Every structure is written in structure tokens, then in C-alpha cells.
Amino acid sequence: MKIIPKLVPTVVKTVFKKPVTEQYPYEPPKPSPNIRGKIVYDVDKCVGCGLCAIYCPSGAIEMIMIKEVKRRIPIFHLDRCMFCHQCVEVCRFGAITGSREFEIAAYNKNELKIITPKERVKPLKVGEKK
């Protein structure tokens, strides 16, 4: 009972403040700065070492061979991804980066694959320094 008079000024002040409620579907979302969202893959920086596929705990990264240019690139299956960002940590070439995008629900699993088009994949120059 003693706390009631102490709370009254706080309660009256709160009336004139903005409510903390976010009406999310009607307003743009405000994700936390540390959120681990959808990963972004840059094929030009990738060397196809496959470390990301080895480290991925949920097996969401599949390495495929592209015969035309004789190099391997990863395919990301976001339906299996648990957004731990181990691949981001382990990639020493900076080819995989994280983003804050989290609205990635889809009706079809195939929409959740990050597949690089074959035309974008250029042959690796062996011995070139990055």
C-alpha cells in the first residue's frame, strides 16, 4: 500500500510519453542492432574453400561445382539456417556478411535458397593476392 503514492507521479508522467507498443505490421519494424538476420553472399570475394559448409551446424550450406569455370560455390538453404552466423565468423575472405533483415518467411522452400546465377560466377585466378 505504501508504494501507491510513490507510483502516482510516474503514472501521470507516463500519460504524456509515447507508448512503448510497436504496431509492427502497420509500422516499419525496428530490429535490434545486434540481430543476426539473413546472410548476404558476395561471389566475387569467395574462393570456394568450403569452410562455411564445414562449420555450418545445421547443414544449411551446400557446395556445388560449376564445371564451366571449374570452381565451387556455396548454396545457402535458409529453410535450414538457424542464423548463428558461424559462416560469417569463419569466412576469412569476407564473402559472407550478416544483415538485419528478418522477414524472410515464404510459401515455398525453393524461395529460401540463395543461389548465385552461373553467369555471375567468374573463373578463379590462381595465385592472385586479394
Partner 1 sequence: MDLFKLVEVVVFPGLMYLVVLAIFFEWYKRKLVARMQSRLGPTYTGFRGILQPLADFLKLLFKEDIEVTTGDQKMLTLVLLVAPTLFIFSLFFVPVTGYTIFSFEGDLLLVLFISSIASLLLYLVGWTFRSSFTKAGAARLLLQIVGFDIAAIALALVPAFEAESLCIATISEKISSAVISNPLLLIPHGFAFILFLLAQQADLEEDPFDIPHAETELVAGYITEISGRKLAFLDLFKDLQMVYVSFFTASLFFGVIVKPLSAVLVIASSVEMFLKALLVLFILFTIEAASTRIRIYNLLDAFWKYIIPLSFFSLSLLFIIKALPGVLL
Judged by the rule CB under 8 A, the positions of this chain that interact with partner 1 are 1, 4, 7-8, 10-12, 14-15, 17, 19-21, 23
User: Cβ closer to partner 1: 1 or 126?
Assistant: 1
Shortest Å distance, C-beta 22 to partner 1: 10
Shortest Å distance, C-beta 9 to partner 1: 9
Spell out where the chain has E strands.
39-41, 61-66, 71-77, 96-98, 113-114
Contact 99/40 with Cβ under 8 angstroms? yes
Shortest Å distance, C-beta 70 to partner 1: 59
